[in-house]
Amino acid sequence: MIAVIQRVSSASVTIDGKINGEIGTGFLVLLGITHLDTVEDMEWLGKKIVGLRVFGDSEGKMNLDLKSVDGDILLISQFTLHASTKKGNRPSFIEAAKADIAVPLYEEMIRFLTKETGKPIQCGQFGADMKVALLNDGPVTIIIDSKRRE
C-alpha cells in the first residue's frame, strides 16, 4: 500500500461537477492499493499518516502531527501509484488491486482513520473520474510504502 501525503492549506475532490469532499488544513492522501496488501498494511500505514509530524510548531519546525493542528484528511484512491513503467511508454497497472480487494481495504482505511483522528474523513469515490484541487502547504509531500518498512 502506497500513500502520497501532501500537507495542504485546503483540498477538494469534485465528481461529475459536484464537490464530493473538501478540507482546510490537513492532509490530502492519495492511496494506492496492490493485490498483495492486507489489513495489517492498512493499519500500519494509517498509524503513520495520523502520527506524521510535519506541521510547524511555535518555532516553525516540523514537529506537530495532524491532531495537534486539528487537521483533516481528504483520502483519494489512486491505482496509478502502482504503475510499472519498465517497458515502453504506456504504464502497466498489473500490480494495482482489482476492486474486490481494493474497495474493502479503502473502506477500512476510511473507518480506521476516522477512529484514529476522531473526525470524519473526506474522500473521493473509488473508480470515479475525480478532479482533485489542492493548495500544497510548504510544499510538503511525503511518500510512504507499507512494503518498505525498514
What CATH number does residue 85 fall under?
3.50.80.10
Place of cell 469534485: 14
Of 55, 79, 112, 117, the catalytic one is: 79
Structural domain contains residue 69: yes
* 112 included as an active-site residue: no
Of 6, 27, 55, 78, the catalytic one is: 78
- Running DSSP on this structure, what letter comes out for residue 98? P
What per-residue confidence (pLDDT) applies to 88? 86
Q: For residue 148, what pLDDT band results from cuts at 50, 70 and 90?
A: confident
Q: For residue 80, what pLDDT band results from cuts at 50, 70 and 90?
A: confident
Structural domain contains residue 29: yes
Structural domain contains residue 20: yes
The three state secondary structure string of 25-62 is: CEEEEEEECECCCCHHHHHHHHHHHHHCCCEECCCCCE
CA 142/CA 58 separation, integer angstroms: 22
* 6 included as an active-site residue: no
Listed residue (58, 56, 16, 22) closest to 135, CA to CA:
22
Q: For residue 87, what pLDDT band results from cuts at 50, 70 and 90?
A: confident
**Total domains in the fold of the chain:** 1
Structural domain contains residue 150: no
For the cut 80, the answer to whether the pLDDT of residue 150 exceeds it is no
Place of cell 470524519: 120
Structural domain contains residue 149: no
Amino acid at 150: E
The pTM of the full predicted model, rounded to 2 decimals, is 0.94
Which residues span the domain enclosing 20? 2-144
